[in-house]
Structure 1
Amino acid sequence: MPEIGRRIYFDTRNGNVILDTGERSGDVTETAVEEDFVTYKELSARIPETVGYIDLEYGQYSEDFARCNGYRVDPETQQILFSNPDPNEPEQPPVYRPPLTEEVTALNEQIATLLIDSAAKDIRLQQQDAIIADLMLQVATLQTASGGGGA
């Protein structure tokens, strides 16, 4: 069963979404951009040079789309940006950010790196403690052997 991800058409000047074709599966075929300009009235009324598009994989950002209250495309990077409502301040104007799923993945990678670094530092500290303890033992042994045992 073929699965086709969404194609998002946007205004190249401001990144506002003109058309989202949605995801499709089943008895479907992928269309060319030129076909879409003929098929969809939102596109046929536009000058093609003022319209950009991005193709997403089937299911890509599905969680972000389900949770957001709006989305647009950054015209420079062609990255999709989502606006997520703040339950404490629902009347606030939208703030567009990269997909939360990508931010969570990046944060998890940073946490893993910090945990690895922390574990490596702990090992180095334990090794240094062992070296210091060994040196103290050697000093005590030398003091005892030389008769300078202290009191």
Structure 2
Amino acid sequence: MKIGMKVYYDLQTGNVIVITPESAGVVVETTREQDFKLYQALADKVPESVGMIQLEHGAYMLDRAEGGMIARVDLATLEPLFDYPPKGDEEPQPPAVSFTSQISELAAENGRMQGENNELKQAVAELSLVLAAVMGGGE
């Protein structure tokens, strides 16, 4: 069995309170109530003030490989926002959408643009045929 991370966050701010580790093998998934007993940071909270998102096992591997850590949850989309270590002389950045989400959005945009490109090619081909007919090739 594979169990993904659970991200517990403050419902008012989106700030992460606890991230449970992912696990695989002979494991049993804990309940929300069990997590509130297991993790001191949760035990100190009123359960109604805490949200939780369950991630798929292996989710955001690219982000974690790049040193990204989930810092907050976007309260509008319920997507994790990552802090990445600054590179070189770079200034620390505020939490950002994951690389994984950015790649997915770019792939979707690329697919949409390829579809539009194909439509434009078809329109140009049709216009070429019309122009050929008008210019005397359609006799």
* TM-score, length basis structure 1: 0.78
Structure 1 residues 102-117: aligned runs within 5 Å:
102-117=101-116
Deviates more, 1:20-29 or 1:72-81: 72-81
The residue number in structure 1 matching 2:83 is 83
C-alpha displacement at 1:84, in angstroms?
3.1
Amino acid at match of 2:84: N
Measured in 1, the distance between the counterparts of 2:73 and 2:49 equals 14
Amino acid at match of 1:120: E
CA contact (8 A) 2:5 2:20 kept: yes
Structure 1 residues 1-151: aligned runs within 5 Å:
2-71=1-70, 72-87=72-87, 89-90=89-90, 92-137=91-136
Number of residue pairs aligned between Structure 1 and Structure 2: 138
Partner deviation per Cα, 1:26-68 (whole Å, 9 max, x = no partner): 2210011111111111211222222211111111222222224
CA contact (8 A) 2:9 2:15 kept: yes
Bigger radius of gyration, 1 or 2?
1
Partner deviation per Cα, 1:105-128 (whole Å, 9 max, x = no partner): 221221222122122212221221
C-alpha displacement at 1:15, in angstroms?
1.5
Provide the secondary structure at the position in 1 that maps to 2:57. Answer: coil
Structure 2 unaligned segments of length 5 or more: list them: none
Amino acid at match of 2:127: Q
Q: Closer, same or farther in 2 for the Cα pair 1:60/1:45, shift >3 Å? A: same
Amino acid at match of 1:73: V
Amino acid at match of 2:60: Y
* TM-score, length basis structure 2: 0.84
Which of structure 1's runs of 4+ aligned residues deviate more than 6 A? none
CA contact (8 A) 1:6 1:23 kept: yes
C-alpha displacement at 1:86, in angstroms?
4.9
C-alpha displacement at 1:138, in angstroms?
5.9
Provide the secondary structure at the position in 2 that maps to 1:63. Answer: helix
CA contact (8 A) 2:82 2:98 kept: yes
C-alpha displacement at 1:132, in angstroms?
1.4
Q: Percent identity?
A: 30
Provide the secondary structure at the position in 2 that maps to 1:37. Answer: helix
